[in-house]
Structure 1
Amino acid sequence: MTDNWTFVCPTSQLLPGEQTVVWEGDTPILVINWDGEFYALEDLCSHEEFELSAGKFNPETGTIECVLHGAQFDLRDGNPTCPPAYEPVRKFPVRTDETGVWVQVVQ
């Protein structure tokens, strides 16, 4: 199935707490396994356009922190949870099937 879906990896290669980045065109997408649920955000802080994948994922709160200035984003919706970021990051649909994890890139 292709319909704008991009293959990320087999589910066995992205264990709980792990993350990976895939590219769809010029768009870097951060995919994180949070306790067996997969989430995908654009790998770009909305505050300073820095890679979120370089930051720390907090499995207790479900947030990823940008290492540049400490902005944090909720994996569930991409919304910032603290300053200095005030704009959300793009969130992408994720699905899993027998082949693995997929993200849907909608322009």
Structure 2
Amino acid sequence: MADTYKPRPFHEWHEEDGPVLWWLWPIEQPPYVGSPLDLGFTVEADIDLAASCGATTEGKLRMNVGGWPWGNADEETESRLFWTQLPDCNRLDEAIRDHIRGGPDPMKEPR
């Protein structure tokens, strides 16, 4: 494994590392892509329960979506959080271009 993609613990991430792949160990779900600085955003919607279930309540629903999923993580969770660099997007782009032009299949290893 190239050192670039070596898993590093949460506490080794710095702002200059930028967005990376975050893995919570044991790995049971796909990685989060981003950084601890991700804020997400608030979504607000008007709801009318009378139309959907016969109640007579109206109101607003507000919730935060996106952003850093471990904002309230305890030390135990942070000790299981690791990151790796994103793949080299320039190499991926070139492989896709080669494939589109009829070149080598980017999903197959060269012989």
Q: TM-score range by the shorter chain?
A: under 0.3
User: TM-score under structure 1 normalisation?
Assistant: 0.26
- The structure whose residues are more often helix, as a share, is 2
RCO higher in structure (CA 8 A, sep ≥6): 2
User: TM-score under structure 2 normalisation?
Assistant: 0.26
- The structure whose residues are more often strand, as a share, is 1
Larger-Rg structure: 2
